[in-house]
C-alpha cells in the first residue's frame, strides 16, 4: 500500500492558516545570529610627530556577548553581539610607557556603578584622537562603548602623558 501527500487540501489556505492548523503551532521558532559571526582582529599603529606611537589591537571575545532578544510574529530573534577587547600600547621616543587591556571588566574595576549599563553594551571602538594629540607632553585616546541597535553610547577619553601616567574621564 502506498500513500501520497500532494497538499491539495491546503492549496487554498494561507501559510499562517496551515501553520496554525499544524501541531507545530505551539513550538517556538528562533532565529539566532551572532555579530560578528566569526573571530575578528584589527591592529592599528599610529605614529605621531611628537614622538608618541600608539598600537591598538582589538579582537572579538568569543566567550562574552550582549543579547538583544525580540519577537516578530511567532519568531523569537536572538541577536548576540560579541564583546571586544582592545590592547593599547603607547610608546614615547620608542620606549613603552603604557600597556593596558581595555574591556568591560577594566571599566567595572574602576566604577562598579557601570555594571547595569555593561549588561547591555559592549566595546565598540578605541582610537587615537589625533586632533588633541599634537602636544609634546600628552596624547588622547577615545574609548567608546555602545548599546547594540541603539544610539546609546558611553565615550571616554584616556589622556597619556609622556612619563607614562594616564587618566580616563567620561566625555559623554
* pLDDT (0 to 100) of residue 124: 95
pLDDT of 15 over the 80 cut: no
Using CA atoms, how far apart are residues 58 and 86, in angstroms rounded to an integer?
4
Q: pTM for this structure?
A: 0.80
> Contact at 8 Å (CB) between 97 and 29?
no
Q: What is the pLDDT of residues 43-69, one digit of tens each?
A: 999 999 999 999 999 999 999 999 999
Q: What is the DSSP letter of 132?
A: G
Domain ranges in the chain are 9-170
Domain 9-170: CATH class, spelled out: mainly beta
Distances (CA, A) of 64 to 35, 84, 107, 127, 171: 12, 8, 16, 22, 26
Q: What average pLDDT does range 110-130 have in this prediction?
A: 92
- Assigned C-alpha cell, 77: 530573534
Amino acid at each position: 500500500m502506498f500513500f501520497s501527500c500532494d497538499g491539495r487540501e491546503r492549496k487554498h489556505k494561507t501559510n499562517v492558516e496551515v501553520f496554525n492548523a499544524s501541531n507545530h503551532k505551539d513550538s517556538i521558532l528562533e532565529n539566532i545570529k551572532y555579530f560578528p559571526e566569526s573571530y575578528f582582529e584589527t591592529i592599528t599603529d599610529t605614529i605621531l610627530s611628537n614622538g608618541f606611537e600608539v598600537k591598538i589591537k582589538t579582537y572579538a571575545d568569543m566567550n562574552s556577548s550582549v543579547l538583544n532578544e525580540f519577537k516578530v510574529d511567532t519568531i523569537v530573534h536572538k541577536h548576540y553581539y560579541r564583546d571586544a577587547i582592545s590592547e593599547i600600547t603607547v610608546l614615547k621616543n620608542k620606549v613603552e610607557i603604557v600597556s593596558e587591556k581595555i574591556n568591560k571588566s577594566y571599566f567595572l574595576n574602576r566604577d562598579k556603578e557601570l555594571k547595569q549599563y555593561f549588561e547591555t553594551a559592549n566595546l565598540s571602538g578605541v582610537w587615537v584622537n589625533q586632533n588633541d594629540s599634537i602636544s609634546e607632553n600628552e596624547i588622547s585616546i577615545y574609548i567608546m562603548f555602545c548599546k547594540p541597535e541603539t544610539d546609546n553610547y558611553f565615550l571616554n577619553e584616556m589622556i597619556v602623558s609622556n612619563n607614562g601616567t594616564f587618566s580616563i574621564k567620561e566625555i559623554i
